[in-house]
Amino acid sequence: MTSQNSPYPVVNAFNEWDPLEEIIVGVADGAMIPPWDIEMEATVHRPELWQFYRRHGGTPWPPEMVVKAERDLEEFAHILEAEGVTVRRPTPYDFSKPYSTPDFSIASSCYALMPRDVLLAIGDEIIEAPMGWRSRCHELHAYKDLCKEYFRRGARWVSGPRPQLSEKSYNAGYVAPREGEPMRTVLTEWEPLLDAADVIKCGRDLFVAQSSCCNRFGIEWLQRHVGDRFRVHEVEVYDTHPMHIDATFYPLAPGKLLINPERVRKVPQMFIKAGWDILVCPQPEMPASHPLYNCSPWIMMNVLMLDEKRVIVSKGEDRFIRALQGWGFEPIPCAFWDFTTIGGGLHCASVDIRRRGGKQSYF
Ligand code: NVA
């Protein structure tokens, strides 16, 4: 079954750049400060923030921060709608409730700020990711109404193997590597774990990086699940606190791969062989004084493509905006630093559901 007013299936997502028709954008309302747990230390870059999470995790973000984040989301949604994109929002959900399973207890859920982490839309299918944080295992409830609707309208819909997230999932006594030390992550290989944002799409090829919320078992599960429909490639990255691929390695358009110069040390040979331009991201410009609780300033790489040329990018990143223009893109700046304070970037805050195009190989 196709979508209303579109010849394409309701879920149709093969890459990051075909013309965008429909997208889910997160909401800040009800956002909780992620409760402290072993994986926070493994994914939050600045050690001075760990104490903040230990003390405040599991309580709501202050209302004034939520209001400012919501303002950025509204500007983002407004830009998308003005460009003719259908914007969908999650269902309000109470993230404040503590919960327990036979294997763990946690003070609260997190938020519906970042649908990209939760739902993996590939081709005509939505995959609920088997996420690596205990505090995020019910977050997808905010998207269930949308998943049910997309399913009724013809999409395929599946949930990855529900993680148990017992102590066996995490390396006890884990200490994050210091800059320069060999890369490691907090996850064991005891069960498949994967956040949707650890994957980035490029037609027939999907690129995935191991992180402290994505293990090899999770990558193997994804490969077997998609079978011969897609080829899954693991990308080698270097990050002392790895979480999600989309501020590290990002195919923006056919033949154009954006890379983080600190995290990508070896571009996969297939891009070189196929003659892709390797676009080395310039240094971020966010002032060091800007509060940033959840990610690094490299979050500016986390843009959203409207099509092969037009790219929504965080306002204030002028050097990056000029670089994008030089590479042949048409940047559309959107104020987003206040969202970034408690969340991530424009790509994190959204998940594209339908783009106009089909499966191709770009290699
Ligand atoms: N963990 C990454 C952001 C990923 C979207 C970072 O902090 O740079």
Least Cα distance to 239 among 296, 280, 191 occurs for 296
37 catalytically annotated: no
Among residues 195, 239, 246, 352, which one is catalytic? 195
* CA of 241 relative to ligand 1 center, distance in Å: 9
Q: Cα–Cα distance between 49 and 42 in angstroms, integer?
A: 12
* CA of 295 relative to ligand 1 center, distance in Å: 5
Top mutation candidate among 16, 43, 45 for ligand 1, by most atoms within 8 Å of CB: 45
> Quick one: pLDDT at residue 4?
65
* CA of 9 relative to ligand 1 center, distance in Å: 31
Residue of minimum CA distance from atom 7 in ligand 1: 295
> Is the CB–ligand 1 distance for residue 344 below 6 Å?
yes
> Is the CB–ligand 1 distance for residue 249 below 6 Å?
no
- pLDDT tens for the chain, residues 1 to 363: 455 689 999 999 999 999 999 999 999 999 999 999 988 999 998 888 999 999 999 999 999 999 999 999 999 999 999 999 999 999 999 999 999 999 999 999 999 999 999 999 999 999 999 999 999 999 999 999 999 999 999 999 999 999 999 999 999 999 999 999 999 999 999 999 999 999 999 999 999 999 999 999 999 999 999 999 999 999 999 999 999 999 999 999 999 999 999 999 999 999 999 999 999 999 999 999 999 999 999 999 999 999 999 999 999 999 999 999 999 999 999 999 999 999 999 999 999 999 999 999 999
> Quick one: pLDDT at residue 48?
87
* CA of 152 relative to ligand 1 center, distance in Å: 34
> Is the CB–ligand 1 distance for residue 246 below 6 Å?
yes
> Is the CB–ligand 1 distance for residue 299 below 6 Å?
yes
Residue of minimum CA distance from atom 1 in ligand 1: 243
348 catalytically annotated: yes
> Is the CB–ligand 1 distance for residue 247 below 6 Å?
yes
Among residues 29, 244, 338, 352, which one is catalytic? 244
* CA of 193 relative to ligand 1 center, distance in Å: 18
Q: Cα–Cα distance between 93 and 110 in angstroms, integer?
A: 10
Distant-in-sequence, close-in-space partners of 315: CB < 8 Å, separation ≥ 6: 333, 334, 335, 336, 337
246 catalytically annotated: no
pTM, rounded to two decimals = 0.97
Among residues 29, 198, 348, 352, which one is catalytic? 348
> Is the CB–ligand 1 distance for residue 298 below 6 Å?
yes
> Quick one: pLDDT at residue 3?
58
